[in-house]
C-alpha cells in the first residue's frame, strides 16, 4: 500500500474567500480595538501613578521643611525658657 492511499482525501473548503476575508478583517478590527482600549487604560493608570508619586514627593519635602522649622522653633523656645533664669541667677 502506498502512503498516499492511506491518507484521507484532502478536503476543499467551501467557504468563499470573500467571507473568509470579511471574517478575518472583523477579527483583526476587534483585536485592534481591544488592545487600543487596553493601551488607553494602561496610560490612564500610569498617569495616576505618576500623579500620586509626584504628590507624595511634594508632601515628603513639605514635611522635611516643617520638621526643620519645628526643630528651630523648639530650640528658640528652649533658649527663651532657660534664658531668663540664667539672667536672674546672675543678679
| Residue 9 pLDDT | 73
Residue 27's region, left for phi above 0, alpha for psi from -120 to 50, else beta, is alpha
| Residue 2 pLDDT | 59
Give the model confidence (pLDDT) of 8-20 as tens digits: 777 777 889 999 9
Q: 86 pLDDT exceeds 60?
A: no
* pTM for the model: 0.56
Domain locations in the chain as residue ranges: 39-91
Q: Determine the 3-state secondary structure of 1 from DSSP.
A: coil
Between CA 23 and CA 13 the distance in angstroms is 15
C-alpha cell at 57: 514627593
Give the model confidence (pLDDT) of 27-77 as tens digits: 999 999 999 999 999 999 999 999 999 999 999 999 999 999 999 999 999
| Residue 45 pLDDT | 98
Amino acid at each position: 500500500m502506498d502512503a498516499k492511499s492511506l491518507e484521507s482525501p484532502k478536503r476543499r473548503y467551501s467557504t468563499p474567500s470573500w467571507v473568509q476575508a470579511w471574517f478575518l478583517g472583523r477579527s483583526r478590527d476587534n483585536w485592534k480595538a481591544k488592545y487600543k482600549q487596553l493601551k488607553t487604560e494602561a496610560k490612564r493608570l500610569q498617569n495616576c501613578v505618576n500623579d500620586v508619586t509626584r504628590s507624595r514627593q511634594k508632601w515628603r519635602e513639605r514635611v522635611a521643611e516643617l520638621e526643620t522649622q519645628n526643630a528651630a522653633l523648639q530650640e528658640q523656645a528652649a533658649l527663651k525658657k532657660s534664658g531668663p533664669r540664667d539672667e536672674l541667677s546672675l543678679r
